[in-house]
Amino acid sequence: RLVPPVYEVITAFREYGNPIWVKRFIDYTLKHLMPAVTDQDSSALGYVMPIEEYVELRNHISGMYPAVMMMEFANDNYLPRSLLASHNILKQIERAEFLCAALGGLINDFFSFEKEVLDAESDFNVIPLYLPNTAINCMSNTNRSRRKFTIAP
């Protein structure tokens, strides 16, 4: 069951968009919403996610696939998957979509690092996956200490 604002958007897309595109958009939107409401920290998962798994999941959680698809809708110019497949370029298009989604999602990790990792102490961010645990622990502890000694204006 979709929340009312998402349902309203989907309803509008059904009215104005290509039906095959709308189905794909709904599928990607659900792939975005379902894991986005689940704790993805390593403590909740019970393991540290490999980079490849993280990037794939981040692409969905960040909502970048629906965002990339919006280009087709905004231009009323849809990429028919069957035609792309018949010309042997579907895999290249899907790879380009993946890279666009990864670029947006991973860049967001850099901008949200302080809020998500240092303040909220979450490790669902690409930066902690690349840094040794000791470095992240050191930064988190330093940040907590900094907040203790900051004098509010």
Span of 4-18, 21-35, 97-111 with lowest mean pLDDT = 4-18
Please report the pLDDT score of residue 147 as a whole number: 47
Q: Which two tokens stand for residue 139?
A: 């930064």
Mean predicted confidence (pLDDT) in 115-135: 80
Please report the pLDDT score of residue 12 as a whole number: 86
Report the candidate in 93, 125, 130 with the shortest Cα–Cα distance to residue 112.
Answer: 125
pTM of the entire predicted model: 0.75
Q: 152 pLDDT exceeds 50?
A: no
Please report the pLDDT score of residue 84 as a whole number: 97
| Cα distance between residue 138 and residue 153, in whole Å | 27
- Output 64 or 9, whichever has higher pLDDT: 64
| Cα distance between residue 35 and residue 57, in whole Å | 8
Span of 46-55, 105-114, 135-144 with lowest mean pLDDT = 135-144
Q: Which two tokens stand for residue 21?
A: 């595109």
Q: What is the pLDDT of residues 131-150, one digit of tens each?
A: 755 455 555 555 544 444 44
Mean predicted confidence (pLDDT) in 71-97: 94
DSSP per residue over 25-54, as a string?
Answer: HHHHHHHHHHHHTS--SHHHHTSPPPHHHH
Average confidence score pLDDT of the chain:
83
DSSP class of residue 150 equals: P
Please report the pLDDT score of residue 107 as a whole number: 94
